[in-house]
Amino acid sequence: MSQDLINRYQKSFGIQFQKAETEAKYRDMQEQLGRSSSLIASGALFFLCLAFAYLEFRAFGHDVQLPMYGYLLAAILALANLLLSRFSVELHYPKIRLVGNGLLAMGIVIVAVFTQKYSAYHALEFVLFIIWLGSLKLLRMVITLSLNALMVLLFIGAMFATDVSGFWISLVSVLLLAAVFLGAYVGYLAERNRRMLFLQTELNKSMTNRQELWAFTLIDLDMALSGILDFKELIALLKKHLEPVIEFDSYILTSLEGQGPKPVADKIEGELFEDDDKTFWSEDLLGKLTQTRQATTSAEHETVKGFLGMEKQRFISYRLDVPVFNDSRLLGVISLRRESEPFDELDTIASVSIAAQAMLIFKRSTRNSAMVVGRMAPEPAIRPKKADPVIRPESPDPVISPRQEEEKTITSTITAASSESKDMEMTDHSFIDSDQTLVPKEVVQEIKQQEESAKRTITLMSRENADKIAVDRYRTAAVEGEPLSVLIIEVDGLSKLREEDGDQVAYKVFAAIVKYIFSKVDKEKDILGRYGQNGLSVLLPRVDMNAAEKFAESLREYVADAHYKTAYGEKKATLSIGLAAITDDTGDYPSMVKRADMALFVAKKNGRNCVKVRL
């Protein structure tokens, strides 16, 4: 849904939408709004019939009672319809009941013409009924126009039957036909306004949903792209993260590195680009992208032969070109195409922001990789002149960087000291360089025992491995009808700590929090996994939503009150937690995680340091 669709509908004179999907959605909405429409229409008909019954009584008294009682009957039926629409849980045939009630009232006017001979107020009554029928929301304009025309013919026929003069018949015919067209015009305007309101509402919903997806995508980028060091791999993954936010039919991407002024495509998908034999990115387009640093939109046409061999332009698709920059260098381009509607402003802004965020992550990964390589350079061991008997391990433990962990999707282990201090400080023994440690044999053995014990104690899995186990637990819970909950936890302010005080301080705080959370879960069945750079997930089998919310709140309260000792003094942190549980409508495990992720997003939008549940 875009503003272009609204603009096109405003310029057209038709009532129905061109897209069958949009038309069906509108009619479903009208069916749902049938209750309020029936209330208003039934109320208006009730008062009209009651007023006309009173006029019949004042004009003819007890001389001709049939029209008066007929109006009273129509008023009672309108009141019954009103009460049914107000208090009934399900509406049964609302259109038939309402239209039947209105046609009965119009038929009574025709009966009054037969029994009392034509009078001027009969025409006025009939005109009001025509306008009432024409303005009904429940009926399409064509139907109301046909019904009004049929009833007008019956009314004029009744005038012929009662020997009304030709002058009055002609005059009343013109009046009633004018009323029919007036009713049709009122119905047309009302229907157009309702449809415009529907389009605007759908556009607002679409914009809100796309903005939420945009925000979630920026969050997911940090999880999916961290550690990627190959630019071509990055730009290919970037396309996948544009899909939830921007609708497109085909795409093509290129990495400009090492290519000339006419770059070739690295990857093409979709018919809209596969059939294109032209240069995908002209010098003018690349120059414009470099100068503006913004995404560009265009409409693609081709020249075809038309009537009598005359050439004409045939529309192909709409196109969006998204530049990927590293500082001031244009490194790549992603081009998207679709046939349905033009790319709007949100598409251009979101695409550029996603590309910029991806490059920030890419730069951080390459910088961290360079730092890890520098740390891995061996240093000479310090040998004392008089050494006590020592034991030296046969081979040093390998230093495993966070990047290597993500590539191999292995379990990342956070180890803890055997005694727990009040500030929950954790020591990571996996970074000990054995070549630089000259200690007695007994001490080395004790350290190894503590390390092995700690590794068995706290195991924080990679997201991929945690998801594999979680999917199996989810299927078991779904089959056996057991409760299952998942927490997505993010440590607030960890990125700021990392920037201001360094990775070691951020690691100390994160490890201490993980250590505390691990001490509170069931080691036999609960699953802890990494979730992004600053968070983790906790799968809680056989725990319902209420119990999981209480558990999450207890974690949040404890961490909010705790202090963490580091080399730069005491630090504080808080937790933002998103929670979701298995339900009949969940669908699958990824859907449940997505709801928990959305709850986490709401928690962060609400100031952080809180727990939010997504039903």
**pLDDT single digits (tens) 141-154:** 778 888 888 988 99
Tell whether the model's pLDDT for residue 440 goes beyond 70: no
CA-to-CA distance for 50 and 128, rounded, in angstroms? 13
**pLDDT score recorded for residue 396:** 41
Residue type at position 586: T
Instruction: Give the model's pLDDT for residue 134.
Output: 79
Average pLDDT over residues 432-449: 46
Say if residue 157's pLDDT is above 50.
yes
Average pLDDT over residues 56-61: 73
Q: What is the pLDDT, as a whole number, of residue 92?
A: 65
Q: How far apart are alpha carbons 423 and 515 in whole angstroms?
A: 11
For residue 499, pLDDT beyond 50: yes
Q: Is the dihedral of CA 141, 144, 147, 151 positive or negative?
A: negative
Q: How far apart are the first and last CA of the chain?
A: 26
Helix or strand (DSSP H, E) at 466: helix 463-480
| Domains of the chain listed by start with CATH number | 3-203 (no CATH), 228-373 (3.30.450.40), 463-613 (3.30.70.270)
186: tokens are: 């009122």
CA distance linking residue 59 with residue 40, whole number of Å:
29
Helices (H), 226-322: 231-242, 271-274, 283-292
The alpha helices in 308-412, defined as continuous H runs, are: 345-375, 402-408
- Angstrom distance (rounded) from CA 67 to CA 70: 5
Indicate the Cα dihedral angle 368, 369, 373, 375, nearest 10°: 20
DSSP-derived 3-state class of residue 585: coil
Residue 445's pLDDT band (cuts 50, 70, 90): low
pLDDT of 458 above 70: no
Q: Which of 20-34, 368-382, 450-464 has the lowest mean pLDDT?
A: 368-382
Token readout for 597 is 């992720």
- Following CA atoms 432, 438, 440, 443 in sequence, which dihedral angle do they give, to the nearest 10 degrees? -10
The predicted-structure confidence for 365-399, as pLDDT tens digits, reads as follows 787 766 655 544 444 444 444 334 333 334 344 44
Confidence (pTM): 0.45
Query: Residue 556's pLDDT is what?
Result: 93
Residue 494, both tokens: 């960890």
Say if CB 607 and CB 490 are below 8 A apart: no
Among the listed ranges 125-134, 184-193, 276-285, 424-433, which one has the minimum average pLDDT value? 424-433
pLDDT at 459: 60
Phi, psi of 36 (to 5 degrees): -65, -40
Q: In the numeric block, which tokens belong to residue 323?
A: 């530049």
What's the pLDDT tens digit per position in 509-563?
Answer: 888 898 889 888 887 888 898 888 788 999 999 999 889 999 999 999 999 998 8
State how far the Cα of 459 lies from the Cα of 245, in Å rounded to an integer: 35
- Burial (CB < 10 A; 0-12, 13-18, 19+), residue 347, is buried
Residue 203 neighbours by CB distance under 10 Å: 16
Alpha-carbon span 595 to 614, nearest angstrom: 6
- Which residues, in sequence order, are CB contacts of 426 under 8 Å at separation 6+? 414, 415, 416, 417, 508, 511, 512, 514, 515
From the CB of residue 513, how many other CB atoms can be counted at a distance below 10 Å? 24
pLDDT at 60 over 70: no
pLDDT tens sequence across 226-269: 778 888 888 888 888 888 888 888 888 888 876 656 678 888 88
Average pLDDT along the chain: 76
